[in-house]
Structure 1
Amino acid sequence: MSKQSKRGIKGQDASEGNSFLSTTPITGSANANATSEATPSVSMTEALLKSISAAVAEEGKRILLSVNESFGKLEAKVDNMMKRIDDVAVTTAALATRQAEAETRISHLEDGIAPIKKHLDSLLIANKELRDKVIELECRQRRKNIRILNLKESTEGNDPTVFFEAFIPKLLQLPVTTIPIDRAHRGFGIPEDGRPRAVVLKLQRSRDVAMVMSAVKRQGNPQHEGRTLRLVPDTPPEVRAARRAFNTVCAELIKRDIRFRMAYPAILSFKANGGQKSFKDPNKAEAFLSSLT
């Protein structure tokens, strides 16, 4: 290559180098402009982040304070509840102790009552037996007694024994003129509602009692001074009450034209369904009559 050509190439390279150098200041100016434009954006971001961080921190403090207050109230309520639970536990323990004591006492009482109840049952049985014997003895003592009902007061005068010795045979038209009587008296108390008190006669002989009661059964209730008198055996009040309990049954038997008798002390007997029936309980007798067609 000729020297001239080499110079031409070097000149070209130099011109290209100069052109490159001439462009370098332009690129630096562009970077500076870009940096100046990015700096305000970064500052705004940092400010926003700081603002958010401060707001979050403030909200966190507020929430933490609220949570602490809630926990404080909850702890107070829990403490109060625990105190009440402790009180209930103490009361329950006291009640359990008292219940155990009560159960122990009740157990002791039951153990003590068992023999007492057994003894009481035996006493009740013995009392009933003795009561029945007393009533029976009283009935035996009254076997010779006759009660006269609906006889006007003061009819017997001052000496009722002498009066009734002659009055009874005449009233019933007996084959004797007098009947020996040990004593005669009116029932105790004051007459009520104008009804005369009953007269109680104690005859000396059982055969005279049988004769009087047979005459009453044969003739019916006698009349005296316009009054219908009733002569009945003198029985204890307990026996009379037991017999009165059969009044409804007896009325039904009379309505059905069924003959009956009352045995001592209060046993109702009559014939029905081809057999003899006896009842000590008026309810059972009434139920039996209801079952009859």
Structure 2
Amino acid sequence: MVSNLRKYKYEGTSTTRPSTSSGKSSGSPTSAAPEPSHTPIMDITSIKADILSSLRKDISVVIREELRTVLAEDFESIKRELIAVRSEIANNTTAIHAELDHMKSNVGAVEKGLSTWTDEVVSTQRTVKDLEKLVGELRDKCEDLEGRMRRGNIRIMGVAERPGSSSPAAVSKLLKEVFQMDKEGIVERSHRSLVQRGAGDKPRVIIARLHNEGDALAILRKARDRGGRLQFDGNTISVFPDYTVNVAKARAAFTDVRKMLRGRPGVRFGILYPARFRISYNNEEKEFLDATEAMDYVKKKVIPAAEPEN
């Protein structure tokens, strides 16, 4: 820019003024007027335009240099950061690959173990099914054996609890007196039920085993024929078969149906061992193992539709 401004440097030359004297010139003619100076006339507008153009170029150069310097520093910083990030990503990627390999190894081991355990579970399930079947058969067999062992037993309810009232001799005497037997039956053993009895509770049941199963069946038949109207020492007593717990529960489920049918003309019913409820009505016989089905049948077929249910 300085070099551009040099062309506008002012270089004026001083002209010598003509000398004047108070006297007259000595016969010589008056000297001629000085020649005009050759100093160029400057155009202000063009000077301004040139200066502005020169300033723009210089400023643009300076700005470019400054921007280049600043951007170079930023680019270097960004480059360093990118290199650091790339290195960190590479390290993380290596660690991730190692972790994935470890996980793949674990998953493979788990899959192998699951496959083995699946086979074991399938085998165990088959074994469990076989055992369930076997347990069911054994349970039924035990139930049958226990029921057969109880065939010579009877249960006597309503006998007052006194010392010696449940002894075999006392039970034998009771049976002879109540059922008017020719001779006393042989009672092998007898005892009260093993439940706790509180003050004011009913007497506990006497469980007696007779030596002859035929005597037990005859006593139960007589008790059934007399409809439970048995008296001993002024008390009403009842005699029942001695069933297992499961059989007793299954037979007790039909109690409501039996109460509903008791006393109805033309209806015969009973419970066959172990727990089959049989109904005879209008020359038709039905057997039920489920108390709910038996109740539905009685309400639909046996009880007249016009008769209100109690």
Query: Retained in 1: the 8 A contact 2:275–2:289?
Result: yes
Write the distance in 2 (CA, Å) between the matches of 1:289 and 1:224: 36
Structure 1 pair 106–215 and aligned structure 2 pair: CA distance change class (3 A): same
What residue number does 1:270 align with?
279
Match of 1:204 among 211, 216, 234: 211
Write the distance in 2 (CA, Å) between the matches of 1:80 and 1:224: 102
Kindly state the Cα deviation for residue 167 of structure 1 after the two structures are TM-superposed: 0.7
2:196 corresponds to 1:187? no
Map of 1:45-194 to 2, 5 A cutoff?
A: 45-70=53-78, 72-73=80-81, 76=84, 79-80=87-88, 83-154=91-162, 156-157=164-165, 160-171=167-178, 173-188=179-194, 190-191=196-197, 194=201
Percent of paired sites with the same residue? 18
What residue number does 1:22 align with?
none
What residue number does 1:11 align with?
none
Structure 1 pair 198–78 and aligned structure 2 pair: CA distance change class (3 A): farther
Q: What secondary structure, in the 3-state scheme, does the structure 2 residue paired with 1:200 have?
A: strand
TM-score of the aligned structures, taking structure 2 as reference length: 0.67
Structure 1 pair 78–192 and aligned structure 2 pair: CA distance change class (3 A): farther
Structure 1 pair 111–74 and aligned structure 2 pair: CA distance change class (3 A): same
Map of 1:17-32 to 2, 5 A cutoff?
A: 32=40
Q: What secondary structure, in the 3-state scheme, does the structure 2 residue paired with 1:153 have?
A: coil
How many residue pairs end up in the alignment?
262
What residue number does 1:229 align with?
237
Match of 1:250 among 252, 255, 266: 255
Query: Retained in 1: the 8 A contact 2:174–2:232?
Result: no
Query: Retained in 2: the 8 A contact 1:170–1:177?
Result: no
Which digits, 9 at most, give the CA deviation of each residue in 1:179-236, with x for residues without a partner?
2222222234643564543211112333322322222223233344565433211122
Query: Retained in 2: the 8 A contact 1:147–1:200?
Result: yes
Write the distance in 1 (CA, Å) between the matches of 2:256 and 2:44: 137
Write the distance in 2 (CA, Å) between the matches of 1:78 and 1:226: 107
CA RMSD, 1 decimal: 3.7
Query: Retained in 1: the 8 A contact 2:155–2:205?
Result: yes
Q: As a proportion of its length, which structure holds more helix?
A: 1
Map of 1:1-20 to 2, 5 A cutoff?
A: none
Structure 2 letter corresponding to 1:179: G
Query: Retained in 1: the 8 A contact 2:175–2:181?
Result: no
Kindly state the Cα deviation for residue 43 of structure 1 after the two structures are TM-superposed: 3.6
Write the distance in 2 (CA, Å) between the matches of 1:274 and 1:86: 90
Structure 2 letter corresponding to 1:184: S
Greater Cα shift, 266-275 or 95-104: 266-275
What residue number does 2:21 align with?
none
Q: What secondary structure, in the 3-state scheme, does the structure 1 residue paired with 2:151 have?
A: coil
2:41 corresponds to 1:33? yes
Query: Retained in 1: the 8 A contact 2:156–2:205?
Result: yes
Could you tell me which runs of 5 or more consecutive residues in structure 2 were left unpaired when the two chains were aligned. Answer: 1-34, 306-310
